[in-house]
Amino acid sequence: MTHERASATLALDTPPAGSPPEEPDASPAGVPDRTRRLQQLRAQSQAMVTELQALLREASDDTGRGSE
């Protein structure tokens, strides 16, 4: 994956600057929504880590050195 592709992927996951924060739903019925959102954020975070690891591998392959 190229740096440009990773940047584009990350940009899609980031809300626009100045957008209002999501209001937490304080009702008990909102708990599943909060849990689902946390699961989505966790999945996005894991995907970003995987992409960054791939970029580091590409960079180390290009230089012939591992990450130190």
pLDDT of residue 42: 98
pLDDT of residue 49: 98
- Between CA 12 and CA 6 the distance in angstroms is 10
Tokens linked to 54: 């791939």
pLDDT of residue 64: 78
pLDDT of residue 52: 97
Give the CA distances from residue 16 to residues 2, 12, 23, 28, 42, in Å, rounded to whole numbers and listed in that order.
23, 9, 16, 29, 20
47 Cβ contact list (under 8 Å, min separation 6): 9
- Between CA 19 and CA 10 the distance in angstroms is 17
pLDDT of residue 62: 82
pLDDT of residue 7: 55
Mean pLDDT by 10 residues, the chain (68 residues): 54 58 59 91 98 94 71
